[in-house]
Amino acid sequence: MNPKPTPDIPLYSVLMSVYSGEKPEYLKECLESMYAQTVPPDDFVLVCDGCLNEGLDMVISEFEKRYPESFHAVRLEKKSGVGACANIGIDACRNEYIVKMDSDDIALPERCAKQLSLMKDKPNLDMCGAYIREFDTDTGEMITVKKTPVTNEEIRKYAKRRNPFNNPTLVFKKSFAKKIGGYDTVNRCEDYDFVVRMLQNGAVGENIPEVLVNYRVSKSNYRRRRNWNNTKSFIGVRWRIFRSGYSGLIDFILPCAMQLIIFILPESLTGKIYKKFLR
């Protein structure tokens, strides 16, 4: 049977995408954490970005059999990118409240209940996030808690330079996302671009000041930050935000300068700089 709305928690959809380079065991652990919520989803949309590997297909098939009424895999013939997958997923979600999740992270059991309860108590909220706990994917050791600004005023100010939401904790209203045209198909930083356009169009946001998602960190995280395509997209998105009038020149220059430093410096220093200055 499908879950029913409680007096405090409305029905919600989970939106996630997956591609062939991800590990089946991480995807399974992630899906288990979402279905182990104190109030589980009645709608789960997993967008498969192109052909997947056999292990991922086996995990998806398992959940299609376990949750035939709620779990829906949307399979794309070719790889389309995170932004395109998000838009296809938004269209496929059947509820107004959409809970984003990354396919290798782990949600705490009360994540959805706490976020949806807050959004129902505050009908003016269009977006909601929370803190994440970063952990070493190889050892399981906790690294740090990544905190974000809590109030809408703090969020709007923080967004001039950086994403004020931890993306795997984001919850938003489908109607508002559709109003702004959904995600843009930029190469990287599509989540930051999306949040800023939501704010520019009057969306109200808030973060719950507690950890609700455990976030995997590995050497590849730092390696991606040194990738030239990632660096170009990072700068490109911030240039668009500056040109739109949302941020000032200093807001554009400072984070871009730090990103360029990360790109130039040896990989051995990348993680240290990220931990000290960019979290």
pLDDT (average), residues 182-197: 88
pLDDT at position 271 over 90: no
Q: Which of 91, 86, 53 is nearest to 170 (CA)?
A: 86
Pairwise CA distance, residues 67 & 133, whole Å: 28
**How many of the other CB atoms lie within 10 Å of CB of 3?**
16
Q: In CATH terms, is domain 12-217 a member of 3.30.1700.10?
A: no
Residues above pLDDT 70, as percent of the chain: 89
Q: Give pLDDT, residue 1.
A: 45
Task: Enter the pTM of the model.
Answer: 0.90
Pairwise CA distance, residues 93 & 182, whole Å: 13
Give the pLDDT confidence of 225-257 residue by residue, as tens digits.
567 777 888 899 999 999 999 999 999 999 888
Which amino acid would we find at residue 35? Y
Pairing assessment for the beta strands 43-48 and 71-75 based on DSSP bridges: parallel
Residues above pLDDT 90, as percent of the chain: 73
First-to-last alpha carbon distance for the chain, in angstroms, is: 41
Q: Give pLDDT, residue 266.
A: 64
Question: For residue 168, what is the DSSP state?
Answer: G
Give the pLDDT confidence of 93-143 residue by residue, as tens digits.
999 999 999 999 999 999 999 999 999 999 999 999 999 999 988 888 888
Q: No. of H helices and E strands in the chain?
A: 11, 9
Average pLDDT, the chain: 89
The domain limits of the chain are: 12-217, 219-279
Q: Which residue has the tokens 């938004």?
A: 90
